[in-house]
Amino acid sequence: MKLSTLAFAAAALAATSPASAMSYSWRTVGDHIVIDAAGEIEFNEKAIFTNWIVSAGPNWNGKRASAIIFNSPGGNVIGGDGLAGVIYQYHLITGVAHGGLCTSACVEAWASGVTKTVASDAGIGVHHVKAPTADEADRGTQYCVSVYRRLGAPESVINATMATPPESIHLLTPDEYAAWNAKIIP
């Protein structure tokens, strides 16, 4: 049975409170496994997530993970990039739960989904990277922008990423979700 985006959204979008470090849990939705990811993204998030899958996977009774739902304030850009690579490799659906957030370093992971969803009352937000020096911040932001472009971000999101200071967040608008081919779940 193929998991439709609407069935997925209706059954799978449930917010969890972000903790300090990213934590993962899973649940069965129909014939599919949905992963919930809540908290801050760490520098080595790719390894943390991969190790978690190796540990949790045997309990999935032969099913494969189809989706990952975020509630994250972001965190480390390098960690977000690594997590995005795993999501992209395994063609996961990504989502942000009702009442949830996916900001900063979380956005690249969300944008890497084969299908991107966001609950109507959730928020996805971008800003300029925060780093120890202005030069490092600019390089980090340019890297994020190049990834967002590769993943189909609209120019308004690119501009907001460049212009929004690190201590602020530009929350995407319904028009920006539509331009990025994200499905808004009522």
The pTM of the whole model exceeds 0.85: yes
186 residues of the chain, pLDDT tens digit each? 344 443 444 334 444 444 489 999 999 999 999 999 999 999 999 999 999 999 999 999 999 999 999 999 999 999 999 999 999 999 999 999 999 999 999 999 999 999 999 999 999 999 999 999 999 999 999 999 999 999 999 999 999 999 999 999 999 999 999 999 999 999
How does DSSP classify residue 178?
H
How does DSSP classify residue 35?
E
- Give the list of residues 6+ apart from residue 5 with CB closer than 8 angstroms, or none: 93, 115, 117, 183
In which residue are the tokens 């978690």 written? 52
85: which strand partners?
none
CA nearest to 37, candidates 59, 55, 52, 54:
52
Q: What are the tokens at 12?
A: 């799978």
Q: Which CATH class is domain 5-125?
A: alpha beta
User: What pLDDT does residue 16 have?
Assistant: 46
Q: 76, 105 in Cβ contact below 8 A?
A: yes
Percent helix, percent strand, percent coil in the chain, to nearest 5: 40, 25, 35
Whole-number Å distance between alpha carbons of 174 and 28:
29
- Give the list of residues 6+ apart from residue 50 with CB closer than 8 angstroms, or none: 86
Q: What are the tokens at 1?
A: 């049975």
User: What pLDDT does residue 68 have?
Assistant: 98
User: What pLDDT does residue 1 have?
Assistant: 37
User: What pLDDT does residue 20 have?
Assistant: 87
